[in-house]
């Protein structure tokens, strides 16, 4: 199984998903509530239907694990496409910005080895193949390989605050870690793009579990750019493996600052 064939498949599906999103963004869809009270639209479901059909027809030996496809227990001895058909549905519905399509490829012998994030409203695609670097492509332009970002002083690091989180736990934590308000960035599904541009450095998620479709594509990309992507107990995130118990959260940060951020964060939240 050639990874670049899989990458070409993921790129094509991302652009197809983006076309659906942009053609219907002005409201040509219905919004529904799922059992967990989150929202899903006809757009999410239309993208999922296309993706499920494409995987069946073009990659019959590969399984699909996505937000809107039927769920089955993950078998780590099989190859998987992992996808979030429309990451940031609420942003898509309410703000018409800050959404994306995300996908990844897992191989039992190679682990997570391809990641992709596509922003159709920005006509911008980020993707990476493990060991080959990360790339950025604007529209139909030639893709540009991104260099790992140069080291920053700790006092220059910028911290991500989920845009729609209304509590103050992240602000309190970041202040304890030494960041003032000017270094706290409100983020949506564009956070991977901000990291690739060097405009965002640290993501801390104080939650016990994030669905794999929300993080797998991003994980491959940011690790190729020199970021660490782990649980707060230092254990790496692996597709199909449950988080540690208890899981205090996730940390994405420059590799060279991970030990300080691990120890300081745990000191403040434990």
Domains (range + CATH), the chain = 3-146 (3.30.540.10), 154-269 (3.40.190.80)
Residues 46, 34, 32, 84: what is their CA dihedral angle, to the nearest 10 degrees?
A: -30
Contacts of 216 (CB under 8 A, 6+ apart): 82, 102, 104, 106, 112, 115, 239
Helices 42-58 and 3-24 pack at an angle, to 10 degrees, of 150
How would residue 1 be classed by pLDDT, with cut points 50, 70 and 90? low
Q: What is the pLDDT of residue 36?
A: 84
Question: pTM to 2 decimals?
Answer: 0.96
Q: What is the pLDDT of residue 78?
A: 97
Q: Give the whole-number percent of the chain exceeding pLDDT 70.
A: 100
- Going through the chain in order, the beta strands assigned E by DSSP cover 31-33, 39-41, 63-66, 80-87, 100-107, 111-119, 124-129, 133-138, 144-146, 159-162, 184-187, 203-205, 227-231, 250-254
Cβ atoms within 10 Å of 170's Cβ, excluding its own:
17
First-to-last CA distance in the chain?
44
Cα 119 to Cα 59: distance, rounded to the nearest angstrom: 24
Q: Which tokens in the block code for residue 60?
A: 């019959």
Give which of 67, 92, 97 is closest to 82, Cα–Cα. Answer: 67
Contact 149, 197 (CB under 8 A): no
Mean pLDDT (the chain) is 96
Least confident of 29-38, 69-78, 196-205: 29-38
Q: What is the pLDDT of residue 226?
A: 96
How far is residue 260 CA from its own chain's centroid? 24
Q: What is the pLDDT of residue 17?
A: 98
Query: At which residue do the structure tokens 């990451």 appear?
Result: 87
**201: part of which helix (H) or strand (E)?**
none
How would residue 37 be classed by pLDDT, with cut points 50, 70 and 90? confident
Helices 258-269 and 169-176 pack at an angle, to 10 degrees, of 120
Contact 206, 249 (CB under 8 A): yes
Residue 35: is its pLDDT beyond 90? no
Give which of 189, 22, 190, 8 is closest to 81, Cα–Cα. Answer: 8
């Amino acid at each position: 199984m050639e990874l670049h064939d899989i990458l070409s498949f993921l790129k094509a599906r991302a652009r197809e998903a983006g076309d659906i999103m942009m053609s219907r963004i002005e409201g040509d869809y219905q919004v529904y509530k799922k059992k967990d009270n989150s929202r899903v639209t006809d757009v999410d479901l239309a993208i999922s239907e296309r993706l499920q059909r494409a995987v069946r027809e073009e990659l019959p030996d590969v399984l699909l694990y996505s937000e809107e496809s039927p769920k089955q227990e993950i078998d780590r001895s099989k190859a998987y496409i992992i996808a979030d058909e429309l990451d940031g549905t609420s942003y898509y519905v309410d703000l018409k910005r800050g959404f994306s399509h995300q996908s990844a490829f897992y191989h039992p012998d190679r682990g997570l080895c391809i990641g992709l994030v596509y922003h159709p409203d920005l006509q911008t695609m980020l993707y990476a193949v493990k060991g080959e670097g990360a790339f950025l492509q604007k529209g139909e332009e030639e893709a540009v390989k991104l260099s790992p970002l140069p080291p920053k002083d700790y006092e220059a690091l910028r911290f991500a605050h989920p845009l729609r989180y209304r509590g103050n736990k992240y602000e309190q934590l970041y202040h304890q870690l030494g960041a003032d308000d000017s270094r706290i960035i409100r983020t949506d599904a564009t956070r991977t793009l901000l990291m690739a541009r060097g405009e965002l450095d640290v993501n801390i998620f104080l939650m016990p579990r994030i669905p794999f479709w929300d993080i797998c594509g991003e994980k491959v990309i940011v690790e190729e750019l020199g970021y660490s992507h782990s649980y707060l107990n230092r254990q790496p995130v692996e597709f199909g493996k449950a988080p540690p118990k208890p899981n205090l959260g996730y940390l994405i940060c420059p590799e060279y600052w991970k030990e300080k951020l691990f120890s300081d964060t745990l000191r403040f939240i434990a």
